[in-house]
Structure 1
Amino acid sequence: MPAEPAQTTYDETKVAIIIPLYNDEVNIARALESAVAQKPPEGIRFEVLVVDDGSKDAGPEIAEDYARRFDNVTFLRMEQNGGPAAARNRALRETDAGWFTPFDSDDMMLPERIGALLQKAQAGDFDIVADNLLISSTSAPETVSRHLWPDKPPGDVPLSTELFVNRSYAAEMARTELGFLKPLIRRRAVKCGAEPYQPDLRFGEDFELYARLLADGAKAVLTEPEGYLFVVREGSASHRQGAADHRKLALMGRKLLKREGLAPAEKAAFSGFTRYCEREWAAWTAIEAIREKNPVNLMKAFTISAPAGLHVAGNLLKAVGAKLTGSGRPTAGRSA
């Protein structure tokens, strides 16, 4: 297990539920209701930390009201909008909880979920316990349409770096990537102390943290659903990706590839992830350059990596061919 900083001590009888909030007055009360309804095992305390990230709606007032009415709810404000990673770090600076779990403001949980994850973590001495999420939609948030990993083998599945990374990109079905998991995490498994998230990431910040912890040697398991309803809505951050986001993901992949001591399977997984992100970076660079009619930026799409440049060239040739034959509209294309 990775060593924690000598000066940091955490209370493993406390679990922090971390909720970043940004312009979500419609859903925050529902999320907070399911958070305060969590049933802790005997001798365990749950605390809920809501961090407003510069909202312009009434969401902060709703969260403040819960903080007044519930002793275990804390409301915090960011000085300026920093994104979900920075907001989660802000919350974790304020607590000595030995465990934490991310919880999105538009999602829901059944009351027994976190207690069940904690008991499994304690019984198996796990650093990370994730459950297969239940997918629903804004039109029917309490109606489960499928599981995050629809074909997950039954029972507990050891969550290795290789499995996690390989199932976090190029998915055949949207919203099946394991990077969307919302696990329970032991604080002392995090080498970087009180601020585990990379604050410059606004997209893929969960993936980066989980991948880094697993590569650090965290003991992890993926179990059956325990009651996290992942409510999919249009307009969420994962639907607003662009070249800048994929650039950060590709650079993240390159950094992970440079880690010492990676097993061959881990290195292969990170290599595949990085190549995919480079293709996405190049494809989105080309798409945005074409939209802006900027030939200089279009050329940049060919400088990211040789395979990514070839990918964009192939997409452009297909688009030109489709236009000439009248079978489609021209587009730079996006990798699948």
Structure 2
Amino acid sequence: MPAEPASITYDETKVAIIIPLYNDEANIARALESAVAQKRPEGISFEVLVVDDRSQDSGPEIAEDYARRFDNVTFLRMEQNGGPAAARNRALQETDAGWFTPFDSDDIMLPERVAALFEKARSGEFDLVADNLLISSTSAPETVNRHLWPGKPAGDVPLTTELFVNRSYAAETERTELGFLKPLIRRGAVKCGPEPYQPDLRFGEDFELYARILADGAKAVLTDPEGYLFVVRDGSASHRQGAADHRKLALMGRKFLKRRGLAPAERAAFAGFTRYCEREWAAWTAIEAIRAKNPVGLLKAFTISGPASLHVAGNLLKAAGGKLSGRGHST
């Protein structure tokens, strides 16, 4: 079982709920209400840490008010906008909680949810426990439309590296990737110390962390829904990605492939993920170059990998005589 350096000691009876906040005055109170309403198992304490990432609306004032009214709510401010990964790292620097779970400011948790994950982690000696999320929308945030993984087998499913990676890319239905999970994580299972997230990632940061924890040998499980309502809204980060984001994901995949000790199935999963990200990197490089009327930039789309070059060439042939757009490229 992976372990933290001996010099770092965490309180295994404490759970931190981590909420990055950025320009979400409309939803932060709802998120905080559901966070402070979480029912605690006996002998366990909950902390709620809100990190404002330099918002320009009244969201920080709302969060500060909760911090004044609730002893277990802490409000923090980033010195400069750094994205959700950097904000979560900032929160984790401020707590000795032995467990943490990410929680988005526009989502909702039912009161028993975190306790249920913790009890399963404790009884099964798991390092990471995730539940199948409930997908809703901004128009009806408390109405469940479907599950994140609609076809998940009932009951507990071992969350292996192979399963997680293979179900985190090239999904036929948007928002079914397991990279969107919001698990409860034992901090001792994260080998990189008190700042587990890669701060330079603004897209795919959750995937990177979970994949790394699993590849390090963590014992993990994916269970049935316990009450996390994942509220899908327009304009979220996953709809704003471009070539630079997919480049980082492709380089991430290449880094995973350099790891020693990967089982053949794990290596195959990371190879498939990397090829997909390289194709997306090349496709978006071409799209952005064409939009900018930059022929030199377009040539760069053919330098990423052989399969990615063929992918771009196929897209250009399909778009011959028309205009290539971000929504029109194939994946």
TM-score, with structure 1 as normaliser: 0.97
- DSSP 3-state at the match of 1:185: strand
Between the aligned partners of 2:62 and 2:221, the Cα distance in structure 1 is 35
Between the aligned partners of 2:329 and 2:257, the Cα distance in structure 1 is 24
Between the aligned partners of 1:195 and 1:235, the Cα distance in structure 2 is 27
The answer for the alignment partner of 1:223 in structure 2 is 223
Between the aligned partners of 2:226 and 2:3, the Cα distance in structure 1 is 29
Report the Cα offset of residue 6 of structure 1. 1.2
Instruction: Say whether the 8 Å CA contact 1:257–1:267 is kept in structure 2.
Output: yes
The answer for the alignment partner of 1:153 in structure 2 is 153
1:38-57 equivalence runs, <5 A = 38-57=38-57
Report the Cα offset of residue 318 of structure 1. 1.0
The answer for the alignment partner of 2:305 in structure 1 is 305
Report the Cα offset of residue 329 of structure 1. 4.5
Between the aligned partners of 1:152 and 1:190, the Cα distance in structure 2 is 26
The answer for the alignment partner of 1:334 in structure 2 is 329
Amino acid at match of 2:171: A
Report the Cα offset of residue 331 of structure 1. 4.3
RMSD across aligned positions (CA): 0.8
The answer for the alignment partner of 2:232 in structure 1 is 232
Instruction: Say whether the 8 Å CA contact 2:19–2:104 is kept in structure 1.
Output: yes
Between the aligned partners of 1:335 and 1:255, the Cα distance in structure 2 is 26
The answer for the alignment partner of 2:9 in structure 1 is 9
1:1-336 equivalence runs, <5 A = 1-320=1-320, 323=321, 329-331=323-325, 333-336=328-331
- DSSP 3-state at the match of 1:91: helix
Amino acid at match of 2:153: P
- 1:255-280 superposed Cα distances (whole Å, 9 cap, x missing partner): 01100100000000000000000000
Between the aligned partners of 1:182 and 1:334, the Cα distance in structure 2 is 30
Report the Cα offset of residue 309 of structure 1. 0.5
- DSSP 3-state at the match of 2:130: strand
Between the aligned partners of 1:235 and 1:120, the Cα distance in structure 2 is 34
Instruction: Say whether the 8 Å CA contact 2:13–2:43 is kept in structure 1.
Output: yes
- 1:303-336 superposed Cα distances (whole Å, 9 cap, x missing partner): 000100110001101111xx3xxxx644475333
TM-score, with structure 2 as normaliser: 0.99
Report the Cα offset of residue 123 of structure 1. 0.3
Between the aligned partners of 2:165 and 2:253, the Cα distance in structure 1 is 10
Q: 1:86 to 1:330 in 2, by over 3 A?
A: closer
Instruction: Say whether the 8 Å CA contact 2:49–2:74 is kept in structure 1.
Output: yes
Report the Cα offset of residue 143 of structure 1. 0.2
- DSSP 3-state at the match of 1:47: strand
Between the aligned partners of 2:3 and 2:317, the Cα distance in structure 1 is 52
Instruction: Say whether the 8 Å CA contact 2:102–2:183 is kept in structure 1.
Output: yes
Moved over 2 A (4+): 328-336
Between the aligned partners of 2:146 and 2:67, the Cα distance in structure 1 is 33
Between the aligned partners of 2:324 and 2:53, the Cα distance in structure 1 is 39
Report the Cα offset of residue 169 of structure 1. 0.1
Instruction: Say whether the 8 Å CA contact 1:282–1:304 is kept in structure 2.
Output: yes
Instruction: Say whether the 8 Å CA contact 1:20–1:105 is kept in structure 2.
Output: yes
Amino acid at match of 1:94: E
Between the aligned partners of 1:12 and 1:253, the Cα distance in structure 2 is 32
Between the aligned partners of 1:75 and 1:276, the Cα distance in structure 2 is 39
Between the aligned partners of 1:226 and 1:335, the Cα distance in structure 2 is 35
Instruction: Say whether the 8 Å CA contact 1:52–1:76 is kept in structure 2.
Output: yes
Amino acid at match of 2:211: A
Instruction: Say whether the 8 Å CA contact 1:279–1:335 is kept in structure 2.
Output: no
- DSSP 3-state at the match of 1:202: coil
Instruction: Say whether the 8 Å CA contact 1:54–1:80 is kept in structure 2.
Output: yes
Instruction: Say whether the 8 Å CA contact 1:280–1:334 is kept in structure 2.
Output: no
Between the aligned partners of 2:314 and 2:329, the Cα distance in structure 1 is 11
Give 5+ residue unaligned stretches, structure 1.
none
Report the Cα offset of residue 3 of structure 1. 2.1
Between the aligned partners of 2:31 and 2:236, the Cα distance in structure 1 is 16
- 1:18-68 superposed Cα distances (whole Å, 9 cap, x missing partner): 000000000000000000000010000000000000000000000000000
Q: 1:70 to 1:331 in 2, by over 3 A?
A: closer
Between the aligned partners of 1:218 and 1:113, the Cα distance in structure 2 is 22
